[in-house]
Structure 1
Amino acid sequence: MPTNAPLIITGMHGSGTDAISRYLQSAGFHFDVNSEKALNSFQTKINRSACKGGHKGIPDWGYTEDLKFNYAKIESFHSVGKSLFTHQPNNLAWHSPNSAITLDFYSTLLPNANFILVYQNPWEVKQALIQSGNSIIEQNPQYVYDIWNWYNSHILEFAKSNSEKSILISSNAFIQEPYKVAELLHQKWGYKLDRQKARDYSFYTPEPISREYIPKLRNEFFSESKNKELLESLHNMSALKFDAKSTTALSNLISVIIPCYNQGHYLDEALYALRTSTNTIDDIIIVNDGSTDSTTIEILDSINESNIQVINQINGGLSNARNSGIKASKGKYILFLDADNKADTRYILEAIEIMERDDKTAVVYANPRFFGEHSLMRTVKDFEITELLNQNYIDACTVVRKEALDQIGGFDESMKLGYEDWETWINLHKHGWKFHHIDKFLFDYRVKDQSMVTNSNKPENREKIVSYVCRKHIELYKSNIEQLIPKMVKNYAELESLCIERQGIIDQLTTNLSKYQNIPALKAIKNNSTIKKIANLFSK
């Protein structure tokens, strides 16, 4: 197929089509705002016309309560559509949720077009639409599962009949492996995307979705067998699938350790995926490390679940809290999860499968999605000891073999300033254990805007930490010195170049501000304490 063939991305509203479109745009696809506006307006007219005579519903989406959709009406739009698409660029990419029920029409109208068909877990779609502010959905939440079935039945049938020109993907899986979509488009249809841009995840903006009612919504969906059958059919046919099920039984295999110091207000989110997993986790340990916050204490006291154990202790620091959890754990493997972060249960499942295949692997780690004050997705490197000796790039949210932790005595409790996880990874490598990187986004790291420079990254503290780690593992550093020094020099040169670049920006801003220093509004900006802090940080 030609690489400039039009690409149509469709799926029910709230299913993640927008995120996939933003990603593909950043990877090199051409999405024209004016074209999309005209084409979506055209699709809305089709839906309204085909829904005439139907009972209530959302005609703009092609849905009525009695599912009255007159397909004969669509043919009258053929000549208008042909004319409309004639004036679009050859490499058009079109994001159109409303077109999901008229795919055969567009397949005929654009015989060389390719289709990305998107679906998402229906209970998450419902929660997203309820929170989107759509007044019709707010008044008629029962519509969502009917529309989900209506749209996805069409999508599934089209995928079955047009496998050569369609790719069915789960947006739940996409958010774990975005680059897989670019790979699929290249492998199947020959679209040539910039590999570097395909690994740029600046499109990512996590939706602020409340998890409070998700279990209820999921149970509501599965109350009807036809719903379950459709979702399973979508999973089975998906080229990029997110299957919550696994043959791996987690009982006695995994313990989850969550240190908590005055972070009780985040615990519900941290526990959400663990509580709602179809694979029951029997051993969740929350270590209350001497919390003084009344809200945290109240939340911890209210936990009454047989598989969650709360350990109360005087404040001993992060290493001590994790070690307390390790001692109390029953599992063969341990997931370390900070109280303010979130982890996907697929992380646990994949990590266990990896370590069950290789008894020399002790640490499995994945890529983080950052959320909170800042949002981004960051790909971390595969394991390399010189890179690890140079800097810690493996987050504490890992799945670790308990036997290996016992061998090294757990986390170093003398490291009160931080980076105790870095020292642990170095220690495990020194004892002969292997590491495995899962190149997927499987956990969420919360970014909190507490201070511009964290305590552990203050220069005087960072120096103490690095000196201690180097002294403790001096032989390992010596044996890797030839590879390590060039790497350190390169990193320093890159940092120096970045600082010079930023200093140039600050100098230019200062020059521009000085030209207009008598303007009251600019005076206020220049004197703003936060602006001054940023300027001082960059100048250093």
Structure 2
Amino acid sequence: MPEVSIITPCYNSSPFLEETISSVMNQTFTDWEWIITDDQSTDNSVEIIQKHQDSRIKLIIAEKNGGAGHARNLSLEEANGRFITFLDADDFWEPNFIEEMVNFMKKENAEIAYSNYARCDENLIPKIEDFKADKEVTFNNLLKTCRLSLLSSMYDSKRVGKEFFPEGSKREDHVMWLNLLKKIPVGKPLPKTMAKYRMRENSISRKKQNIVKDQYLVYKDFMGFSTLKSLYYTTNWALNGFMKYSKIFN
């Protein structure tokens, strides 16, 4: 069994896929499996992945286009590693990402950990200040802002089990992390920049004004909060999101 399972959804990612693949193949830690689910891409993403003949890479072709959360769940079903980590098909890891994260989690006896990541343009050139892993993460403080980014986080499935993504939510990553943090007291920060996030202008997660309703439903539907409590946390999330990405604060 590999020690680490990497989970990747892929949909029409051909412009960035080679860089993402290289960032995984160049990892100093080699005991991993990489489970990529293609979500019915209409470009040549599948052909790019298939060019890389490595027994550690498993490609799944989704039967229908179901979104990133569904694609991640298909990969998670096949995952065998103790440590689960995520990398979207347009993001990038520094060569020491997995090694540093695994060592940190073992040293700190952590069940969830997250690191800094660089916030870049589509050419991986830094755009604003790096996102800092500077606080321990709990269920309560994660309600106000999602500090756990998929590309820079890892959890120990041996201790907390696999956590799947809710279907039909555009905020599926936030719901998944909240559900995990219901099980454990704290996630720990590793303050090193070991990943690069592409701040693509057409990204769903970048269009905060378009997903306020979806964020409200995180609290109302998935957490079961009252309307007033859901509005309170949605407001906090919106303010924190503005500060997270505004150049005024970065």
Whether the 8 Å CA contact 1:389–1:477 is kept in 2: the answer is no
Whether the 8 Å CA contact 2:26–2:95 is kept in 1: the answer is no
Which residue of 177, 182, 192 corresponds with 1:430?
Answer: 182
Provide Cα deviations, 1:38-84, integer angstroms capped at 9, x if missing partner.
Answer: xxxxxxxxxxxxxxxxxxxxxxxxxxxxxxxxxxxxxxxxxxxxxxx
Matching residue of 2:40: 290
Matching residue of 1:265: 15
Matching residue of 2:83: 333
Taking a change above 3 Å as real, the CA distance of residues 362 and 414 of structure 1, as seen in their structure-2 partners, is farther
- The residue type equivalent to 1:355 in the other structure is M
Matching residue of 2:136: 383
Q: What CA distance in whole angstroms lies between the structure 1 residues aligned with 2:82 and 2:102? A: 9
Which residue of 434, 457, 461 corresponds with 2:208?
Answer: 457
Pairs within 5 Å for 1:112-511: 252-293=2-43, 295-313=44-62, 314-357=64-107, 361-373=110-122, 375-376=127-128, 377-385=130-138, 386-397=140-151, 398-403=153-158, 406=161, 408=163, 410-415=164-169, 418-450=170-202, 457-459=208-210, 461-474=211-224, 488=236, 491=239
Whether the 8 Å CA contact 2:171–2:214 is kept in 1: the answer is no
**Secondary structure in 1 matching 2:178:** helix
**1:358 CA drift (Å):** 5.4
- The residue type equivalent to 1:389 in the other structure is L
Provide Cα deviations, 1:444-476, integer angstroms capped at 9, x if missing partner.
Answer: 00122337x8686234x4223323433422469
- The residue type equivalent to 2:47 in the other structure is E
Provide Cα deviations, 1:404-443, integer angstroms capped at 9, x if missing partner.
Answer: 66454x111231xx22111111111112253111111110
**1:490 CA drift (Å):** 11
Q: Which has the larger radius of gyration?
A: 1
- The residue type equivalent to 2:212 in the other structure is R
Taking a change above 3 Å as real, the CA distance of residues 267 and 464 of structure 1, as seen in their structure-2 partners, is closer
**Secondary structure in 2 matching 1:463:** helix
Percent of paired sites with the same residue = 23
- The residue type equivalent to 1:401 in the other structure is D
Provide Cα deviations, 1:123-153, integer angstroms capped at 9, x if missing partner.
Answer: xxxxxxxxxxxxxxxxxxxxxxxxxxxxxxx
User: Which residues of structure 2 form unaligned runs of 5+?
Assistant: none
**Secondary structure in 2 matching 1:348:** helix
Whether the 8 Å CA contact 1:362–1:433 is kept in 2: the answer is no
**1:304 CA drift (Å):** 1.9
Q: What CA distance in whole angstroms lies between the structure 2 residues aligned with 1:272 and 1:457? A: 31
Provide Cα deviations, 1:212-247, integer angstroms capped at 9, x if missing partner.
Answer: xxxxxxxxxxxxxxxxxxxxxxxxxxxxxxxxxxxx
Q: What CA distance in whole angstroms lies between the structure 1 residues aligned with 2:75 and 2:40? A: 14
- The residue type equivalent to 1:268 in the other structure is E
**1:353 CA drift (Å):** 2.2
Whether the 8 Å CA contact 1:369–1:445 is kept in 2: the answer is yes
The number of equivalent residue pairs is: 234
Whether the 8 Å CA contact 2:137–2:186 is kept in 1: the answer is no
Taking a change above 3 Å as real, the CA distance of residues 275 and 488 of structure 1, as seen in their structure-2 partners, is closer
- The residue type equivalent to 1:315 in the other structure is N
TM-score, length-normalised on structure 1?
0.39
Higher RCO, 1 or 2 (CA under 8 Å, sep at least 6)?
A: 2
**Secondary structure in 2 matching 1:444:** strand
Whether the 8 Å CA contact 2:220–2:227 is kept in 1: the answer is yes
**1:298 CA drift (Å):** 2.4
Q: CA RMSD in A?
A: 3.3
- The residue type equivalent to 2:45 in the other structure is T
TM-score, length-normalised on structure 2?
0.78
Q: Which has the higher helix share?
A: 1
**1:380 CA drift (Å):** 4.2
Q: What CA distance in whole angstroms lies between the structure 1 residues aligned with 2:161 and 2:70? A: 14
Q: What CA distance in whole angstroms lies between the structure 1 residues aligned with 2:150 and 2:187? A: 13
Q: Which has the higher strand share?
A: 2
**Secondary structure in 2 matching 1:274:** helix
Q: What CA distance in whole angstroms lies between the structure 2 residues aligned with 1:339 and 1:430? A: 28
Pairs within 5 Å for 1:73-112: none
Q: What CA distance in whole angstroms lies between the structure 2 residues aligned with 1:424 and 1:476? A: 20
Whether the 8 Å CA contact 1:263–1:340 is kept in 2: the answer is yes
Q: What CA distance in whole angstroms lies between the structure 1 residues aligned with 2:181 and 2:201? A: 33
